[in-house]
Structure 1
């Protein structure tokens, strides 16, 4: 049992003593000048009717937005000659992040050179054969055959150039370029290491962090309460006093058999890069209770707990009165109650001391 009767301040002892000795009933402004002064200066709040809002707390973490993220692989095997960026560095689109020395790139460059030479030779041969054909010194078949060889050479040159364009390498050097402007969130290479073309791990991951994802876990018992579009408030361990607001934009309708949770996603703008990947966060979901009837709402601070019961001080034209209420639920700074009526004025400051004085 919690009682506030033992916490009265000395100044109020005079008031309560006067009330207890002179008049056993609740004091009115006319009966006590000190209490009259308190009554005039109390702060009150009206009882309002609101739709009950339920909050569900979820745990989650920050992830890079996959729509603004790119993984960089090597399209050729080779040896790392230089690495120009570190984990966490900001890079610009097209910036060289690493350079490889590659036999495959050297071979590709050589194929282009040979194909260009073959085109030159077959072109001259085709032109010579045409001159001979025009002078009746070569058959039409000879001319068509030379023309076919020239077209084949052109095709081989085009193929070699396309291969070289895909790898992006030249003269045995292969450069890895940043595909977008962002931050290096993953780096899996070091100088002088060997790189294989069939490596499944990306050498770099670059992410634009101006927009990030919050991935939160919903327990099985709360799945039916969560909907796309529900408003959320996100706080981080790094800065718990700064809330970030957003909405659930995707529900992953798959239950993890190990944790018995379902994931939801919130896209969050991150212009100042305060939200970083892998940060742990707390997500408070304001669940929509549409269709539910309105409940009486008062500030939570107005409630006085005494002997396991809840009371408020109501102010009206007759003065101050103690009224017992039934507490339905607390949600942050609001309390949903029964036992009052809409428009009643409840005291929100010094209510503990006033309760003590009125109950003596």
Structure 2
């Protein structure tokens, strides 16, 4: 029995953190009157203006909202006059009902505007000004870089059409491929070292964050994700990285790989029986690590096996001898 350690070395690629991507689009038809962000790669902060949009639908709902506010104000004045002249018993109940109905209609109009991403602050500005705004400003929902910009000034856009893709690069993912026979040895939380040729002599520490459940039919590998902080922005998506995962497999019965003769159907080792006699024995093998291979069945702890440097077998014996 001996401690068995495995080092998995693979190549990873830096990718965006999918949880920190944002797409900016419209929920109504409109035209881009003005762009505040003109180039891909530009950095924007959350709340920063991206574009000015003109939309007949947004203009219409503002006019409806203003008319309802005006109607409620007039109706409230009439109701007060009716009360002052003691008409309340006759018209008061009806007036209250009409005022309540108007409040409901105003709330419906406000909710429609919210559904179209008009903020409460913008609604208050419309109410204070007493007239509709021709254009509405679209603001950035996150801090990040503009990674795609289909938006062009003057362009007509449909509901759901993408205007900007934004990516927050304060953290990035490293996606590495792990071979299927190595998957049983890894699990989330295991430490890893990551290095990039762009930063010689520098290593980053990380841990396995997630093991993807799908296997590539072409490479027989599964993707494994690591997360790295990137406050300086030095780590760019699509950079390649070297990934090293050191795994302590615990104490296991293991022998050198060269001690095993693989006939294609069986794995044979030669057990030292003293006096120059070696007994061929079939074994069942497990994990391989650092030139050692685990023996699951066929050997006992303490038994000695011959390795190729000090025990040579004639090639004809391999084919015709007891290994068959």
Fold match (TM-score > 0.5): yes
Partner Cα distance (1:172, 1:256) in 2: 52
1:243 aligns with 2:203: yes
Residues 297-344 of structure 1, C-alpha deviations (whole Å, 9 max, x = no match): xxxxxxxxxxxxxxxxxxxxxxxxxxxxxxx9479xxxxxxxxxxxxx
Residues 128-174 of structure 1, C-alpha deviations (whole Å, 9 max, x = no match): 44445x3xx5755x432221111111222233234334334661312
- SS of the residue aligned with 2:249? coil
Which is further off, 209-218 or 238-247? 238-247
Partner Cα distance (1:227, 1:129) in 2: 77
Partner Cα distance (2:46, 2:57) in 1: 25
Identify the residue that residue 145 of structure 1 maps to in structure 2.
94
1:280 aligns with 2:240: yes
Partner Cα distance (1:187, 1:269) in 2: 26
Equivalences for 1:58-77 in 2 at 5 Å?
Answer: 58-77=10-29
Partner Cα distance (2:71, 2:217) in 1: 62
Partner Cα distance (1:73, 1:237) in 2: 38
Residues 69-113 of structure 1, C-alpha deviations (whole Å, 9 max, x = no match): 322222332111222222111112211111112112211221221
Please, which of 219, 226, 235 is the counterpart of residue 179 of structure 2? 219
Contact (CA 8 Å) 2:32, 2:153: kept in 1 or not? yes
Partner Cα distance (1:204, 1:198) in 2: 12
Contact (CA 8 Å) 1:234, 1:243: kept in 2 or not? yes
Identify the residue that residue 164 of structure 1 maps to in structure 2.
113
- SS of the residue aligned with 1:56? strand
Larger of the two Rg values belongs to structure:
1
Q: Name the CA shift for 1:117/1:181 in 2 (closer, same or farther; >3 Å).
A: same
Structure 2 gap segments, 5+ residues each:
123-131, 256-288, 293-324
Identify the residue that residue 157 of structure 2 maps to in structure 1.
195
Report deviation, 1:257: 4.9
Partner Cα distance (1:138, 1:84) in 2: 55
Identify the residue that residue 45 of structure 2 maps to in structure 1.
92
Q: Name the CA shift for 1:248/1:175 in 2 (closer, same or farther; >3 Å).
A: same
Identify the residue that residue 309 of structure 1 maps to in structure 2.
none
Q: Name the CA shift for 1:230/1:194 in 2 (closer, same or farther; >3 Å).
A: same
1:184 aligns with 2:146: yes
Partner Cα distance (1:117, 1:289) in 2: 76
Partner Cα distance (1:287, 1:203) in 2: 46
Partner Cα distance (1:257, 1:270) in 2: 33
Identify the residue that residue 190 of structure 2 maps to in structure 1.
230
Contact (CA 8 Å) 2:151, 2:163: kept in 1 or not? yes
Partner Cα distance (2:290, 2:220) in 1: 27
Which is further off, 56-65 or 105-114? 56-65
Report deviation, 1:239: 4.2
TM-score between the two structures when normalised by the length of structure 2 = 0.66
Partner Cα distance (1:256, 1:143) in 2: 74
Contact (CA 8 Å) 2:25, 2:160: kept in 1 or not? no
Contact (CA 8 Å) 1:78, 1:102: kept in 2 or not? yes
Q: Name the CA shift for 1:240/1:107 in 2 (closer, same or farther; >3 Å).
A: farther
Partner Cα distance (1:107, 1:256) in 2: 52
Contact (CA 8 Å) 2:171, 2:227: kept in 1 or not? yes
TM-score between the two structures when normalised by the length of structure 1 = 0.60
Identify the residue that residue 109 of structure 1 maps to in structure 2.
62
Please, which of 151, 173, 178 is the counterpart of residue 135 of structure 2? 173
- SS of the residue aligned with 2:177? strand
Identify the residue that residue 79 of structure 2 maps to in structure 1.
126
Question: RMSD over aligned Cα, in angstroms?
Answer: 3.0
